[in-house]
Structure formats: structure tokens, C-alpha cells
Structure 1
Amino acid sequence: MTFTLTILGSNSAAPAYNRHPTSQLLHIQQEYFLIDCGEATQMQLNRYKIRFTKINHIFISHLHGDHYLGLVGLLSTMHLNKRTDDLFLYGPGGLVDILSLQFKYSDTRLNYRIRFRELSQQRELIYQNDNTTVETIPLNHRIQCTGFLFREKPKKRRINKDVLPDNLSLQQIIALKKGEDLYNRQGERLFKNEDLTLPPKKSRSYAYCSDTKYQECLIPQLQDVDLLYHESTFLEKEAERAAETFHSTAAQAASIAHQAGVQKLLLGHFSSRYKDLSPFLEEARQHFQESYLAIEGEEFTIDE
């Protein structure tokens, strides 16, 4: 089953050097989650041949323009394309005011309903379906800012077809997947579950840490995630500037990844002062070897 992240934008503040403001698309099984929506997000979706109709959930981390200024255009295009399905939008409370004002003065009445979930500055579960949960990650930025942790729920055990007896009923197969032993009507055990099944496949996870100062209090929540995106606006020689602007350096992002024991780190939200991104990778890998750059158009897949 699919668990793939596509980078749509990886720059901070303003577009530069063919890098666009922040946006990502996470595809988990049958769901497509858009994470932040900087300027030109819909153009990037078109560029990478991602259909807008697949997106039903949009998460906005905070109200600095490089994380949401593409949203009105995307919502308007969905309207022009005759979308009728509900759209689920998660973000700070002020986002509703911004959208309402835009649509008021353009006299736009969307064909579809936006179901808005206002985010607090507390850790909370904001979405779940049969397979996946999404909880917030409180971040430390100049204004309210929220990260997001996506996790697959524990999966069922797998049937071992090589040893499965003939003529088992559908109810018995379902019981095996739930991890149950099989019994006859007299209550006698016929088969131990572990003799007929294989362990469940891995439940995967992705943590998105948007704009934030270096803060070690994130580590418990990020512990052992498969893929961590942590902003790295500056290099370490600009650490003072990073602290002043409530941002992080590549070395600080790598330190968080190392301490949390994550499997892989993605660096992004690069300042426009840097044309060459290779120093970010070099700096991060001094602290955490499994560090990578969030290059636009690249996909990062987590296997089961």
C-alpha cells in the first residue's frame, strides 16, 4: 500500500532559484493530503501531474504567506472545475477570515462545502480514518504554528496461504486477521493464530515540522518516526539569525532527528540567500547521516 511524499515547494519566504514556497503532497493508501499551500502550489500540482480532485484534506501550518498564499487560487480552481465533494481544511482560526474576505469581494460562491477545523496550540488528534491518524505538533514560531504527524494505525495479521487449511469460513479468516485463535463449537482450540498467520506489515509514519525554533521538547513526539521533515532555513553560521526569526539550522534539524531516532530526515524551507543547497546536506550529515534535501518534484516512499 502506498505511503509517498511529493515535494511541491521547498523555499522560504519568496520563490528563488526555481524553488517555490512550501507545499507537499502526502499519499497514504487511498487518501491524498496537501500540507501547506504556498504560492504556485496548483501550478506545481499540474507540473507533476497530480489531479486536484484527489485532494480532500488540506493542512495549513500557519499564516505566513509562504505557507498559504496559494490556497485561494487552488480553491477557486477546484470551484471552476465543478468540484462538489466536501473539502476538509485544517488551520489557524484567522484562515477563515482571510478566505471569507477573498470570496466576498470576488463574489465567489463555491460549488462545494469547506469543512474547517481550527487548530489550537495544543497537541491533539485532528483526523482519523480506518487506516490513518493525524495529530498536531505544537511548534515554536513567531506566530501560532502547527506541525502534523501522520501515522498508519496498527495493521492486521497476514494470512499464511502456504499453511492455511482448506474450507475455512470467511468468519474464521477474519478472526485470524484480528489475531485470534480458531476454536470449534465445543470451545476446543483448532489452530493457534501464529501457526496460520504472518506478522502484520509495518505501520508507517511521517512528521512535518514547519517553521520553528530549535526545541528539544519535540523529541518525544517525533520518536522513531520513519520520515521527518524539519525546517532548516539557515546554515549553522547563521544560528543567531535563525533564533531571532524563530527558525532552525540544518545542524539543529539533524540534532533533533538524531535524538529522536528517526529513520530519515528531510531538510527544507531554505532561505533565498542560499543558491547552492549542498552545504545544508553536508552540515546535517555531520550529525545525522540519513539526511536528505527536499528537492521539488522528488518523491520519498516509505516501504511496509
Structure 2
Amino acid sequence: MPFELTILGSSSALPTSDRYPTAQVLNVLGRFFLIDCGEGTQIQIRRNKIGFSKIKHIFISHLHGDHYFGLIGLISTLNLLGLKNDIHIYSPSELINLIQPQLDFIKGEMQFKLIFHPLNFKKPQQIYTDKKIEVFSFPVKHSIPTCGFLFKEIGKQPNIKKELIQEFDIPIAKIKEIKAGADFVTTEGKIISNTILTTPPPIPRSYAFCTDTAFHKPTAEFIKNVDLLYHEATFTEEMKDWAKKTRHSTAADAAKMAKLANTKKLIIGHFSARYKNVAPLIEEAKAIFEETVAAVDGKTYKVKSRPAEKAVN
């Protein structure tokens, strides 16, 4: 079952001819989550053949324009397409005031509701959950209130070995208990250990989105052991003073975060337009954290189920 991230935009505030502003779609078991919505996001959604009707949850990290200027255009397009499913938007509370004047022009025609969920910039909070996934926001360190997002697959129950159901004549009514961790007692009184009866489920997968932010040590603890981390790397270390002043990260900062958080794989992005070639950023990050790749607009990064060691391609 899919757990995959598609990069729609990897540029910072100034887009380039081959990099759109920040936006990405995470597909978790057929649930599609749009993370940030920079200008041109809807074009990238169509270009990457992602169905508009699949997007029901939108997460906006903060209110710098390159992270939400594409939202009103996307909403308008969803309306033109006749979408009827409600859209949940997780964002700073001020967002509604910023886009309300534009919404007023189309609100009477809309067949779906926009449901806003304000973010908490003081502490982590669970902002969404269902049977398959839970989503958390957590404060990061930027020039205005900003949140990162952590997506965690909810663990499955162990699988019972079918051949043992017949061998030990296990009643159907007992299967649920065994999957929940119980041992089984045969009619002769023999105890069959749960570990014999079941195989462990795949390890739950996870993804963390961290931008915009300076290096922020508390983040590492909250996203500890995450499978896939997207962390901004706006500048190289040559620009570290400017990065500090603007509360952005260097590629080295992103790599240090990945290492500190024991991340399996790091994607760096939010590149300054000054870097036509991101090779220096990759080189800087890989010197600290080898499992680093550069975000590429239109590329999809998959996190595999991992009953054993490996998870990310």
C-alpha cells in the first residue's frame, strides 16, 4: 500500500524556471494530503496527474506568500470542477481573513464547505486522525509563527498464520483476541504462544515536513526515528549568517537535524533562487548525513513497508 511523497514545488520565495514555490502531496494508503500551496500548485497537481477530487486535507505551515498564494486559485478550480466534498484546511487562524474577500466572490456558487482548523504554535498537537494515519503539527523556528507536520501510519495488528488456525482448530471468535495479543488455549489445555501463532505486521511508516525554519533542536526529539524527512536547506554554509538572520536553514543544518533525529532518509528543499545548480547544497548535506537527496519538482519518493530493516528508496 502506498506511502509516497510527490514534490510539486521546491523553491523558496522566488520561483525559478524549473522550481515552483513550496507544495507537495503525500499519499498515504490512498489518502492524499496537500502540504503547503504556493503559487502554481494547481498546475503542478494536474501535471503530475493527481486527481483534484482526492485532495480533502490541506496543510499550510505559515503565512508567507510562497506557501499559500496558490490556495485561492486551487479552491476556485475545485469549485469549477463541481467538487462537493468538504475541504479541511489546517493553518494559522489568520488565513481565513486573508482569503475571505476573494472567497466572497465565489462563496455563493460553492457546493462544498471550507473547514478551517487553527494551528497551535506553542506546542505539538494532533490535528487529524483516522483508522490508518494520524497527523501532528509542531512549532518550528522561523521569522513568523510556523508549524511543521508529522504524518504517522497507525500500526496494524499482527497477522495470524492461516495454517495454524486449522492445525489448532482455532474458533473464528478467538482470532480477534489473538490478533490483539492473546495466547490460545487448546481443548486439551495446551497454551499456544501468541508469537507462534502470529507474524509481526510491517513497521508503521512516517514522514516529517520541516519548513520554513532555522535549526531547532526540539524538533529532533518530536520527529525521532522518522522514515522520511523533508527539511528546508535554503542556503549553503557560506550564507549561514544570512540564514540565521532570516531564520532559515543551511544544507548543513538540515543534515544535522536528520542525524540528530535518526532519520532514515533526508530530502532537502526550499532552495534559494541563487542556486541554479543545487549540487553544492547536496554535497554539504551528504558530508554530514549520507542518505540525503535533493527535492526535484515532479519526483515521487516512496517509503516502503519494512518488516525488516529497509524502508525508503
Both proteins in one fold, TM over 0.5: yes
1:227 matched to which residue of 2? 228
CA distance in 1, matches of 2:192, 2:107: 66
2:311 matched to which residue of 1? none
- Residues 118-133 of structure 1: pairs in structure 2 closer than 5 A: 118-121=118-121, 122-133=123-134
2:43 matched to which residue of 1? 43
Amino acid at match of 1:54: K
- Residues 19-168 of structure 1: pairs in structure 2 closer than 5 A: 19-105=19-105, 109-121=109-121, 122-165=123-166, 168=170
CA distance in 1, matches of 2:285, 2:163: 46
1:178 to 177, 180, 203: 180
1:269 matched to which residue of 2? 270
CA distance in 1, matches of 2:82, 2:177: 44
Which secondary structure state, in structure 2, belongs to the residue aligned with residue 79 of structure 1? helix
1:298 matched to which residue of 2? 299
Question: How many Å apart are 1:205 and its aligned residue?
Answer: 0.6
Question: How many Å apart are 1:169 and its aligned residue?
Answer: 3.7
Question: How many Å apart are 1:154 and its aligned residue?
Answer: 2.1
CA distance in 1, matches of 2:19, 2:3: 24
Question: How many Å apart are 1:30 and its aligned residue?
Answer: 2.6
Q: 1:91 to 1:194 in 2, by over 3 A?
A: same
Amino acid at match of 1:15: P
Amino acid at match of 2:181: G
Task: Tell me how large the CA RMSD over aligned residues is.
Answer: 1.6
Q: Which has the higher mean CA deviation after the structures are superposed, 83-92 or 157-166?
A: 157-166
2:310 matched to which residue of 1? none
2:308 matched to which residue of 1? none
CA distance in 1, matches of 2:114, 2:297: 28
Question: How many Å apart are 1:179 and its aligned residue?
Answer: 2.0
Amino acid at match of 2:41: T
CA distance in 1, matches of 2:102, 2:20: 23
Which secondary structure state, in structure 2, belongs to the residue aligned with residue 165 of structure 1? helix
Which secondary structure state, in structure 1, belongs to the residue aligned with residue 8 of structure 2? strand
Q: How many residues end up aligned between the 2 structures?
A: 303
CA distance in 1, matches of 2:178, 2:34: 36
CA distance in 1, matches of 2:210, 2:89: 18
Question: How many Å apart are 1:190 and its aligned residue?
Answer: 5.1
Question: How many Å apart are 1:81 and its aligned residue?
Answer: 0.8
Provide Cα deviations, 1:192-228, integer angstroms capped at 9, x if missing partner.
2211210111101100001011111211112111011
Amino acid at match of 1:93: S
TM-score by structure 2 length? 0.92
Which secondary structure state, in structure 2, belongs to the residue aligned with residue 173 of structure 1? helix
CA distance in 1, matches of 2:9, 2:164: 48
Q: Which has the higher mean CA deviation after the structures are superposed, 37-46 or 109-118?
A: 109-118
Which secondary structure state, in structure 2, belongs to the residue aligned with residue 247 of structure 1? coil
CA distance in 2, matches of 1:81, 1:176: 47
Answering whether residue 209 of structure 2 is matched by residue 208 of structure 1, we say yes
CA distance in 2, matches of 1:175, 1:189: 17
Provide Cα deviations, 1:239-270, integer angstroms capped at 9, x if missing partner.
00101111000001001111111100010000
Amino acid at match of 1:31: R
CA distance in 1, matches of 2:151, 2:159: 23
Q: 1:62 to 1:159 in 2, by over 3 A?
A: same
Identity %: 42
Q: 1:65 to 1:176 in 2, by over 3 A?
A: same
Whether the 8 Å contact between 1:17 and 1:275 is mirrored in structure 2 is no
Which secondary structure state, in structure 1, belongs to the residue aligned with residue 215 of structure 2? coil
Which secondary structure state, in structure 1, belongs to the residue aligned with residue 127 of structure 2? strand
CA distance in 1, matches of 2:108, 2:239: 44
1:278 matched to which residue of 2? 279
Provide structure 2 residue ranges, at least 5 long, that are not aligned to the other structure: 306-313
1:236 matched to which residue of 2? 237
CA distance in 2, matches of 1:206, 1:196: 32
CA distance in 2, matches of 1:128, 1:189: 40
Provide structure 1 residue ranges, at least 5 long, that are not aligned to the other structure: none
Question: How many Å apart are 1:184 and its aligned residue?
Answer: 6.0
Amino acid at match of 1:255: K
Q: Which has the higher mean CA deviation after the structures are superposed, 291-300 or 160-169?
A: 160-169
2:10 matched to which residue of 1? 10
